[in-house]
Amino acid sequence: MASQPPATVEDKPDATATKKLRADAQRNRDRLIEVAAAAFAAHGVDASLEEIARQAGVGIGTLYRHFPTREHLVEVVYRREVEGLCQAADELSRTEAPDVALEQWMQRFVDYIATKRGLTTSLRILMSTNSTLFSDISGRVTQALRRLVEAAVAAGAIRGDVDASDVLHALGGIYSAPDTKDWRDRSRRLVKLLMDGLRFGAKAR
């Protein structure tokens, strides 16, 4: 049997091209999640998937390859929002004064609420079939907030009789506010008022 010639560079799989394809796929996925989060926040969970794909610069087939169902996309968007919220707590605690970190995180929480409001219907369905989804996510958000509140209290930057559950209940009122055109602006103003109250009577002031 005649021996086969040795493989040339051209015969071998192009590892660079493979990595590029994977990187492109990841960028497409990340872009779809980003666009979907904005669309769900603005238009609710019934936002057009075709429009989400168009704004992300991909075809609807690409969207369905990454997210076979609308519910799958909703869950991924929600988990990504929570992940971003928790990462923001860590980053702000490293770069800002404790009270500033807390205030900026609460402003970021407004964006999280906006997305969550848009996902309400689907989240109810998801949580009815995945009993750990709410408890896992709620626990992570509470822990992130607790670290910020405790750091601000320890620094004397906010009053000492406050804990994370107090702040979380106050922020919950924003979620229940009427969905008006100026909801986001009013919510950001409420965060500032809440922060003024937290700073009042602080040891460092």
**CA dist., res. 205 & res. 198, Å (int):** 11
Band of pLDDT at residue 8, cut at 50, 70 and 90: very low
66-94 burial, b at 16+ Cβ within 10 Å, e below that, comes to: bbeeeeebbbbbbebbbeebbebbeebbe
Phi, psi at residue 68, to the nearest 5°?
Answer: -60, -30
In this structure, which topology does domain 16-68 adopt according to CATH? Answer: Arc Repressor Mutant, subunit A (1.10.10)
- DSSP for residue 10: G
pLDDT at 1: 47
User: Helices 98-118 and 15-43: crossing angle, nearest 10°?
Assistant: 80
Question: Is domain 70-205 classified as CATH 1.10.357.10?
Answer: yes
More confident residue, 57 or 131: 57
Q: pLDDT tens, 78-101? A: 889 899 999 999 999 999 999 999
Q: pLDDT averaged over the chain?
A: 86
**CA dist., res. 79 & res. 74, Å (int):** 9
Band of pLDDT at residue 176, cut at 50, 70 and 90: confident
- Percent of the chain at pLDDT > 70 equals 87
**CA dist., res. 86 & res. 179, Å (int):** 25
- The helix or strand, by DSSP H or E, that contains position 120, with its residue range, turns out to be helix 120-129
Say whether pLDDT at 203 is over 90: no
Say whether pLDDT at 17 is over 70: no
19-52 burial, b at 16+ Cβ within 10 Å, e below that, comes to: eeeeeeeeebbebbbebbbbbbbeeebebebeeb
Phi, psi at residue 2, to the nearest 5°?
Answer: -70, 140
The residue ranges of every structural domain in the chain are 16-68, 70-205
* Chain mean position to CA 128: 21
Q: Which residues, in sequence order, are CB contacts of 161 under 8 Å at separation 6+?
A: none
pLDDT at 199: 95
Calculate mean pLDDT across residues 180-201: 91
